[in-house]
Amino acid sequence: MAEDWEAGGFGLYVHWPFCAAKCPYCDFNSHVTQSVDHDAWRNALVSEVERVGTLTKGRVLRSVFFGGGTPSLMAPKTIEAVIDAIAKTWPMANDVEVTLEANPTSVEAHKFTAFRSAGINRVSMGIQALNDPDLLALGRLHTAAEGLAAFDIARSTFDRVSLDLMYGRQNQSLTQWKSELWTALALGLDHVSLYQLTIEPGTAFGDRYKRGKLSGLPNDDLSADMYALTQDVCAEFGMPRYEVSNHAKDGAESRHNLIYWRYGDYAGIGPGAHGRLTLQGQRHATEQLRMPTAWLLDNDRTQEEALSGADQAVEFLMMGLRLTEGVDLDRYTRLANRSVDDTKIKELADLGLVTQKGRNLFVTNQGFSLLNAVLRSLLND
C-alpha cells in the first residue's frame, strides 16, 4: 500500500544562511558574515546529501530548492557539487524542478549563466517593491531599475522565473499597490508570489513597531482590500491564486512548494532546515542545528521527532486548505483515524466559507480571507 507522503511526492530543500545585509523585516535564518569558507560549506552540504540519501534510497526526487538567506551568493561550483551529489543519490523525475532563490543585484545577475550550467532550471527572485524609496525603507541593496534588469537577465537565462513582491508596506495606498502590481504582471510572468508584509517579533521592524515607531502600516480593512484587489488584478492577467499568496499560469505552479502544501515528504539540509520524512512507515519532523557555525561543525545527525497520526492530520489540513485545489477528506480520516466533523463543514459551508465536492473540501474565495478562522473551526472540536 502506498505511504501517505506519496500523494505529495518527495523533494529536497537546501538552506544557505548568508546575506549581504540583514533586511529589517526578515526573520529567516539569515546572517551577515565577513567571509565564508566555500570549500568547507560545499563538503558539508554534499555529505548531508549523502547521509539523507541513505535514509531515503530509491525515492524519485521531484524538486530541489536552494533557499535562504541568499543562495545566489553561493559559488556556482558549490551548487554544481551539491546538484552532482543529488543526481548520484536519487533518481530524478524527468521534469525535476531545481530552483534557486536569488536577490536581484547585478552581482548575482552576472552569475546566472554559471548557475544554469550548474543545473539550476528555475529562479525565484525577491524584487519586493518597484520604487526606490520603498526599497530603501525595506533595507534592500538594489534599486527598482536594478531589480528589473536582473529579472531580464534571469528571463533570458532560465525558462522559469518567478518574482516575490511584498505589499501592505508603510504608507502604501491601494492605488499605488494596484499600479505596482500591474507593472509587475505586465512583464509577462507565469508565476508570482505576493506576500503581505508581516511584522515579525525579534526583527528590526518588530522592535520599531513595539516602540510605536513604525508608522503608516495598513489597518485590517486596508489589508483586506489589498488582498482582494490582488486577486482581481491577477485574475485579469490570467494568473489566478493557486495558494494563499502564490499565483501562476496553468502548469507553472511551483512544484517544490506543492510538495509542502500537498503534504509530501521533503528532506531539509543546511542550518535550520526543516524536513518531513517518513522512515520505516513513521513520519518524522526533522530539523538541523540552526546556527551556521554550529551546523558546520556538527551536521552528521538530524534532530527528529515522530509525528502522531493526529499531528499529521492537522498539518495536512493546514497545508492543504491553502491550495485552491483543496484537500481529500478521506486522506484526513486515514491520518487522524477519525473524520472531520460533518456539522462543522456544514456550518462553514452555510457561511459560504468552504465547499465540498464528493470527498474533496475547498476553501471559497470568501473563505480565503478568513482562512485562519476556518482552520480553527475545523480543528478545534
Ligand X SMILES: C[S@@+](CC[C@H](N)C(=O)[O-])C[C@H]1O[C@@H](n2cnc3c(N)ncnc32)[C@H](O)[C@@H]1O
Give me the residues that bind ligand SF4 (CB under 6 A), please. Answer: 19, 22-23, 26, 28, 30, 68-70, 103, 126
Verify binding: residue 101, ligand X, rule CB under 6 A. yes
Q: CB under 5 to 8 A by kind: which of ligand X, ligand SF4, none does 274 bind?
A: none
| Contact (CB, 8 A) for 20 and 70 | yes
- What are the strands, taking DSSP E only, across the chain? 10-16, 61-68, 92-102, 122-128, 160-167, 191-196, 241-243, 246-248, 265-269, 274-279, 282-287, 303-306, 327-328, 354-357, 360-363
- Residue among 254 and 377 whose Cβ is closer to ligand SF4: 254
Verify binding: residue 103, ligand X, rule CB under 6 A. yes
- Residue among 28 and 362 whose Cβ is closer to ligand SF4: 28
C-beta of 125: minimal distance to ligand X in Å? Answer: 7
- Residue among 78 and 312 whose Cβ is closer to ligand X: 78
Q: Is 168 exposed, middle or buried (0-12, 13-18, 19+ CB in 10 A)?
A: middle
Q: CB under 5 to 8 A by kind: which of ligand SF4, ligand X, none does 369 bind?
A: none
Which region among 92-100, 173-181, 190-198, 301-309 touches ligand X (by CB under 6 A)? 190-198
Verify binding: residue 97, ligand X, rule CB under 6 A. no
Q: CB under 5 to 8 A by kind: which of ligand X, ligand SF4, none does 53 bind?
A: none
Residue 302 backbone dihedrals phi, psi, to 5 degrees: -125, 135
- Residue among 200 and 287 whose Cβ is closer to ligand X: 200
C-beta of 314: minimal distance to ligand X in Å? Answer: 24
C-beta of 128: minimal distance to ligand SF4 in Å? Answer: 8
**Interaction with ligand X in 22-41: which residues (CB under 6 A)?**
25-26, 28
- Residue among 26 and 92 whose Cβ is closer to ligand X: 26
C-beta of 78: minimal distance to ligand SF4 in Å? Answer: 18
| Residues in contact with 94: Cβ distance below 8 Å, sequence separation at least 6, in sequence order | none
- Residue among 164 and 190 whose Cβ is closer to ligand X: 164
DSSP string, 234-276: HHHTT--EEETTEEESTT-S-HHHHHHHTT-EEEEESTT-EEE
| Contact (CB, 8 A) for 228 and 368 | no
Q: Where are the alpha helices (DSSP H) in 8-110?
A: 38-55, 76-89, 106-109
Which grid cell is 296? 558546520
Which grid cell is 124? 525565484
CA atoms within 13 A on the CB side of 379: 17
Verify binding: residue 200, ligand X, rule CB under 6 A. yes
Residues that bind ligand X (CB under 6 A): 25-26, 28, 67-68, 70, 101, 103, 126, 128, 164, 166, 195, 197-198, 200
